[in-house]
Amino acid sequence: MPFWNKELETLPRQKLEELQFSRLKKVLTRVYQKVPHYRKKFQDTGITPTKLKSLDDIKYFPFTTKEDLFVDYPYGLLTVSPEKVIRLHTSSGTTGKPKAIFFSKKDINNSAELIARCLVMTGATKGDILQNSMTYGLFTGAFVMHYGAEKVGILVIPAGPGNTERQINLMKDFGTTMLHITPSYALYVASVLYDKGIDPKKELKLKRAYLGAEPYSEETRRKIENMLGIDIYNCYGLTEMNGPGVGFECPYKDGLHIWEDNFLMEIINPETGEPLPDGEIGELVLTTLNREAMPLIRYRTRDLTRIISEPCRCGRTHRRISRILGRSDDMFIVKGVNIFPQQIEQVLMGIKGVAQNYQIVLESYDEMVVRVEIDRELFDGKIEKLIKLKEEIIEKIRSATLVKPKVELLEPGTLPVSEGKAKRVIDKRTI
């Protein structure tokens, strides 16, 4: 089992927690002294950093939410002078103002260190060739991965997303061994390879892919793995926490290791804010322990998961989280029922005859329409089979979500192809 930083990655739990405690104490003190917004929040809660006697005491400190990032926007949460920050990244900002996250030089180096751990953990080495098909720009995904891969000595092809023809040529010409890509785009690239009659197993040198930036199901992972003949690693991150590399799968692919020397994780009940014990599903809350420019305390990720505390066979002592079960932001409500797009995806990817692309349209009168492309290869000209397929989809979604959808079967290629984050849910309701 290869390691990038064996000492830190396998630090005995007690030592790891001591390190977390001393870092936590420091970061709480720093934000209290340097960030008026945090000082006020702490004072409103009646707490000071001196109250922290153990890691558990974090529960007495106030949460930071998305809204807090807008209060003294954009520079208000910095603990260093603005000239010490050298990079800005933002979240997509599809709804209103984007969340601005600043990196100091040390932060950039540190985020790259964490990615280096992730990549080496999956078996990547110097000599690998990474085609980075994430968006370069304000989005953190591409840059953080880029710097981390370079640290390992990996050749990076900064392809960015889109232009699938060129992506394929790059893979062929330069012998790409690894991809960093969104799940929806990976599916699309795989289907284009298939249509062109290119057998990735024979004609490409791909070994593994890192998928992130949008939630996807285990069924989708298996589908892409089979289509491309590679290993896929689930990676988790969010702009507010550097982007990718917060959590990453090891070769056992049984949950994602969170680098606990850098992030303090908690799971809380999203309704009450109460901490939940390991193993229970709730909202992931993260505190940056090693960030210089813009530390965040008890940041509510909105992501639902659970902590897996059983030791991992890979030898790393950092605990894992389960794959993200949903982002409370993605959740939508139809007929009073909470539904995550992944629930629908999981059903669809398990049905034979369904192609990769789908869309959920919420119509007025609270109707859920699931639009599904059929698998061209499985079409046999029999209308009865299509009617059965449609009924199977309706029934399986109904039993998974308790809401009976309307299902539209579409020709492959009808739905818009996503090259960045896929837009799966279209809400046309005016309420």
* Contacts with other proteins, residue ranges (CB under 8 A): 374, 376, 379-384, 386-387, 408-414
Query: What count of Cα atoms within 13 Å lies in the side-chain half-sphere of residue 416?
Result: 12
Q: Name residue, tokens 């539209």.
A: 408
Nearer to other proteins, 203 or 391 (CB): 391
Nearer to other proteins, 40 or 406 (CB): 406
Nearer to other proteins, 55 or 410 (CB): 410
Nearer to other proteins, 190 or 321 (CB): 190
Nearer to other proteins, 207 or 371 (CB): 371
Nearer to other proteins, 17 or 408 (CB): 408
Q: How far apart are CA 113 and CA 149, in angstroms?
A: 9
Q: CB of 114: closest distance to other proteins in angstroms?
A: 43
Bridge partners, 308 (sequence order) = 320
Look up residue 365 and give its amino acid: Y
Nearer to other proteins, 218 or 408 (CB): 408
Q: CB of 383: closest distance to other proteins in angstroms?
A: 5
Q: CB of 393: closest distance to other proteins in angstroms?
A: 12
Q: How far apart are CA 180 and CA 168, in angstroms?
A: 14
Q: CA 164 → CA 168, 188, 207, 422, distances in Å? A: 6, 9, 19, 16
Q: CB of 415: closest distance to other proteins in angstroms?
A: 12
User: What does the longest C-alpha to C-alpha distance in the chain come to?
Assistant: 72
Angle at 253 between CA 249 and CA 255, to 5 degrees: 65
Q: CB of 198: closest distance to other proteins in angstroms?
A: 16
Q: CB of 408: closest distance to other proteins in angstroms?
A: 6
Q: CB of 176: closest distance to other proteins in angstroms?
A: 27
Bridge partners, 256 (sequence order) = 249, 321
Nearer to other proteins, 48 or 414 (CB): 414
Name every residue whose Cβ is closer than 8 Å to that of residue 280 and which is 6 or more positions away in sequence: 267, 306
Q: CB of 401: closest distance to other proteins in angstroms?
A: 21
Q: CA 251 → CA 8, 120, 166, 178, distances in Å? A: 18, 10, 30, 15
Q: CB of 374: closest distance to other proteins in angstroms?
A: 7
Nearer to other proteins, 24 or 362 (CB): 362
Pairing, β 243-249 against β 231-238: antiparallel
Q: CB of 105: closest distance to other proteins in angstroms?
A: 50
Nearer to other proteins, 244 or 353 (CB): 353
Q: CB of 419: closest distance to other proteins in angstroms?
A: 19
Nearer to other proteins, 71 or 387 (CB): 387
